[in-house]
Amino acid sequence: MNPFLSLDPDSRSDWADRANCKGKAFELFEYQEVDSPLAKDMKTKTRLQFNYTNFELAAEICIECPVFFECGEHATEDDKYWTVRQGEPPGRFSQEKEAYERKVKYKPSRRDGEDRICQRGHFVKGGGRCRECKKATNQRHRARLKAADGVE
């Protein structure tokens, strides 16, 4: 959503004509969502980094803008949610970044001392790794190494 491509002539004032971002790639200032053509096939972490890099470049353009304050004053909530305004990243970026960080940080601990059942159905007293599965994995690994060396 580019505020400078508005079809309503009354919504645009002369301050927008004097903005440093006028004529620049609007993609730098817009949040790229999952379904955006620029972010197509990107994983969340990569897309967040892509957006962050764009917003850093946009902020450099904003910092020297002669209409820096007018940009913020005339911005709607939607503008602030989806686009860079006054060098600030969009609200949508902050929201998705926080959600991603919460998801990455939350990893249930397997070493918490609680008994559990492993994926293959073995009982593991005290939590942690399943010794039977670990032993089987190590045996398969050794067998592959021997086969690769040509030793049977």
Structure confidence by residue, pLDDT tens digits, 134-146: 888 888 888 888 8
Per-residue model confidence (pLDDT) at position 111: 52
Model confidence at 69: pLDDT above 60: yes
Confidence of residue 9 (pLDDT cuts 50, 70, 90): very low
Domain residue spans in the chain? 3-105, 116-149
82 versus 117: which is more confidently predicted? 82
Can you tell me the mean pLDDT for 71-88?
92
By C-alpha distance, which of 19, 16, 48 is closest to 32? 48
21 versus 111: which is more confidently predicted? 21
| Averaged confidence pLDDT in the chain | 83
Tell me what percent of the residues of the chain surpass a pLDDT of 90: 38
Percentage helix, strand, coil for the chain under 3-state DSSP, each rounded to 5? 55, 5, 40
Per-residue model confidence (pLDDT) at position 68: 92
By C-alpha distance, which of 8, 49, 59 is closest to 29? 59
